[in-house]
Structure formats: C-alpha cells, structure tokens
Amino acid sequence: MSGASQPLRDSTGTLRSPRPTTNRQVSNRATPPVCSQCPSALPVPLTRPKRLPSTEELSDQKLLGQCADGDERSWTLLVARYENLVYSEALKVGLNEEDAGDVFQQVWLELHRSLPRIRNATGLPRWLIVATRRLSYKVAARGRRMVPSITREMVDPASLPDEELQDVETRMRLEQALDELGGSCAELLRMLFLQPKKQSYEDISDRTGLAIGSIGPTRSRCLLRLRKILEAIS
Amino acid sequence: MNPRQAHPGMDIWVRFIAGEGEGTEERESLASHLESCSRCTKDTEFLQNLQRARRVPKWVAPPTELSSAARRRPQGATLPPAPTQPRNVRWAPADVRGGVSTASASRMVSRMFPQAELGIVAIPPEASGEWRIEGRVWLREADARAIQVLLVHDDHVIASTEVFDGGYFELEDVVGSGWSLELHLPTGETLRLEDPDA
C-alpha cells in the first residue's frame, strides 16, 4: 500500500502543555501531555531524543554496575528512566505534591546508599516501588498526615501486589523498547497502545498523516520491530 | 482462512485481541488456529502484554527542579557491600535498672568481641512506626577510621551513619519486619544484629 511508506508527520513543538502555571507535566515517556485546544484531547506530539544508547548499553544491570563504580552519566540515565515511576507511585499512594517530592528525593538517596548490595537488577522497578511505599508511610507518619490510603502494611515489601508489579514491569520494558524503536513507529504504537483511551483510526490518521487504510499494515511492521527489541531486552 | 493466512499477520491478531468479529466464522477459525500454533500464541501473548501496559495508571513526571537534583549523583561515602560472613550477635531483653530504656519491649546488646565492645539498645516502634537504635561501639585496638553502622532490610540500606571509637550513634527509621543492623568495623569484620521481633 502506498501509504505504508509515507512518513509520519513531524509536528514537534506545535502544542504546549495545558498546565503552564506549573512545571510539573505529564510524563513524556508514559503518557504524553494532553492538548486542551484539540477537538478530542489528542496527546501532544513528542519530541524524540536524537538517538538513545542501545538497550544493551542501557540495561539496568550495566547501569547499576557503573553507578556503583561512581559513573555520573549512568546515574543520570538510571534516574531518568525511573523518575516518573517513583514520583507517580508517591502520588498514587495518596501523598500531596510536596510530600511526594520529599519521598522522591529520599528514594534516590536510598538507592545510592544501596548500590553495592543490589544483586537483582531485573527487580529494580520493584525495589523502587518498595522504597517509595515505605518512605511514603514514613513521611506521612512523621508529618502526622491523615492519609487513609497510607497504611502501616506499606512498610512490608510483601504487601506489594504481584499483579500491579507485573503491569509496571511490562510497562517499563515496553517504554524502554519504544525508546529504542524511536521515530514514527514508536509514536504510532504509543498512540495505539499506551493512551488510556483508545484512539480512533480517524484521530490517528489526523495526527500522523497516515491514510486510514495504511495504519494497519504500518502498525504490523512496527509491532514486529518492537517485538524483536523486547525479545532482546528480555 | 486462505493459504496466505496459514499464520495470520500481526494486524489480524491485533483485531482478534481487541475482540473484533465476535461470533463470526473467521474468528472461530482464528481461535482454532491459535490453539495449535505456538508461533501465533507468541504473537498474541506479545499483544496481550501491550494491552496490559495500558492498565498502568498515567505516570506523572516530577517537577523539573526535583528531577535535576536527583539526576546529579549524590555525594557521600560509598558504603560497603553486603558482608559475606558477618558475625551474628544476639539481643537480650533490655536492662532497665541502669535507666538505659524504659520501653518494656526494648532489646539490648552489651558484649565484648576480640575487635570491639558493643552497647546498643533497640527500641521498637510506637505510634510513629519507627525503630530507634542507639548505642556505642568501642574498638579494642585504637583505630582512627570510622565504623559504619547500617540499618538494612533485604537489599535496601534504610539508614546509615558513621561513628568513631567510643562515639555515640542513633538511627531512627521506619523499617519492616526482618531488618538487621550491621556494624562494619575498620578491620573489615562485620557484626550483625537481626530484628529481635522477627
């Protein structure tokens, strides 16, 4: 199909976050900001980095090892990969933005302290969630905050639901693979699979410039590429 | 299914996973194919994982200044790795006669080892949910280097501090059942006290 080779429209910088009064914005890795001026709340097009290092270069295992050896850049990459997860988890358990910010900072200090003894790099998302939940409880308890959703059991790592954790890990791997995939393919798949609300083909066509009839074949090709990357990550 | 669809393409499986064509002959044919085709099962598992990722609540980026600060590597001493052969030390009920602690469930350690002598009290959580662990460590041979004191749970270093020969330390933190306190002596030996309630 002719539309299959048609490049996706590059609309970088055409839209702005709907909340200009705050410097907090919706993650550009998990879910793009929503455009308040668009007719059906379409996500803002993403600005992709020029090129990210390969998945192998960026594996948690390698990053943790290099961080333990004192490498600045690896630390920065590691925090960049997981900062949205940590901050969102602190908000999700019920903390306000200020307390979530405190917890956010403490989690990274704890990770830094713990670097020499983290043996299971594949469990890093779990490690971070466990630390975030415990520190959220601590901040709430010390500040005598009455947050009904924050309970003492959050201090116990075993209280973390496995299913929730698996979903997060799946999402993390997917984000990592999409970063590596990059370009128009990643943008299309984010629209198709990572938006909380399903996007119609008409919306996707409007956003990407793809003919409606070529969305399916393009999606198939992109999915195959994504799967290869995911298999490499796993 | 026609011969070209011996292994249906990804796009067909996307529609299948989305539940399209419910009750149609094509869907039944696809379902039947799926039962006996490991390759297509892998395809559909991959697609189901994509659907699963959508269930994760929207992630929010931290404020820029927080992010920038976190991305700068924290400064501070590098802590020792998990000890391979720590010497485990047992707690005893606190001796309240000396006024060390009034909390009935407190535990204490007062022991001498070839390298060091310990006097440590662990006070269990009350309303705040925080353990308080305090005490002193005296080295048997003078050493100007610090003793590292770590409150640990699994592979989390919950809190840490340094203390010199005979100095007082105090750690207070929320920590789950099964924690341990590690004392890393300048000689390289590690003394470990495990959660008295575990």
A204-225 confidence digits (pLDDT tens): 888 888 888 888 889 989 999 9
Q: CB–CB of B157 and A142 under 8 A?
A: no
CA pair distance A87, A83, nearest whole angstrom: 6
Asked whether residue B174 is domain-assigned, the answer is yes
Domain ranges for chain A, please list them. 54-168
Q: Of the ranges A9-23, A120-134, B3-17, B24-38, which one carries the lowest mean pLDDT score?
A: A9-23
Q: What is the pLDDT of residues B93-122, one digit of tens each?
A: 766 555 555 555 788 888 888 889 999 999
Question: Does the domain formed by A54-168 have CATH 1.10.1740.10?
Answer: yes
For residues B24 and B105, membership in a common domain is answered with no
B111 and B174 housed in the same domain: yes
Collect all residues of chain B within an 8 Å Cβ-Cβ radius of residue A131.
Answer: 156
Nearest CA-CA distance, residue A79 and chain B, Å = 6
Q: Does residue B42 fall inside a structural domain?
A: yes
Q: Do B104 and B184 fall within a single domain?
A: yes
What does the longest C-alpha to C-alpha distance in chain B come to? 89
User: In terms of domains, do B116 and B169 share one?
Assistant: yes
Same-domain status, B112 and B16: no
Q: Give the SS3 label for residue B117.
A: strand
- The model's pLDDT over B70-86, given as tens digits with 9 standing for 90+, comes to 999 888 777 888 888 89
Distance, CA of B16 to CA of B22 (rounded, Å): 9
Asked if residue A234 has pLDDT above 90, the reply is: no
| Full domain range(s) for residue B18 | 3-53
| Average pLDDT of the residues of chain A | 77
**Rounded CA separation A69/A75 (Å):** 10
Classify residue B34: in a domain, yes or no.
Answer: yes
A38 vs A15: CA distance, rounded Å = 9
Domain CATH number, residue B91: 2.60.40.10
Considering only CB atoms, which chain A residues are within 8 Å of B52?
A: 166-167, 170
Measured between CA atoms, the residue of chain B closest to residue A189 is B50
User: Which residues of chain A lie closer than 8 angstroms to B174, CB-CB?
Assistant: 134-135, 137-138, 141, 155
Same domain for B142 and B98: yes
Determine, for residues B156 and A156 on separate chains, whether the beta-carbon distance falls below 8 Å. Answer: no
* CA–CA gap between residue B150 and residue A64 (Å, rounded): 20
pLDDT, tens digit (0-9, with 9 covering 90-100), for A193-202: 887 777 888 8
The number of beta carbons lying within 10 Å of the beta carbon of residue A119 is: 10
Q: Does residue B142 belong to any structural domain of this protein?
A: yes
Residues 6+ apart with CB under 8 A from A147: A93, A94, A95, A140
Residue B186: inside a domain, yes or no? yes
Same domain, B129 and B47: no
On whether residue B80 sits in a domain, the answer given is no
- B47 & B98 share domain: no
Over 90: is that where the pLDDT of A166 sits? no
Please, are residues A132 and A86 in contact by the beta-carbon 8 Å criterion?
yes
In this complex, which of B59, B72, B128 lies closest to A84 when CB atoms are compared?
B59
State the Cα–Cα distance between residues B173 and B98, nearest whole angstrom.
25
State the pLDDT confidence band at A28, using cuts at 50, 70 and 90: very low
Complex ipTM tops 0.85 = no
| Domain count across chain B | 2
| Confidence class for position B158, pLDDT limits 50, 70, 90 | very high
Whether B64 maps to a domain, the answer reads: no
CB-nearest to A155 from B60, B80, B176 is: B176
Instruction: Report the pLDDT averaged over residues A55-79.
Output: 87
Instruction: Determine, yes or no, domain membership for B93.
Output: yes
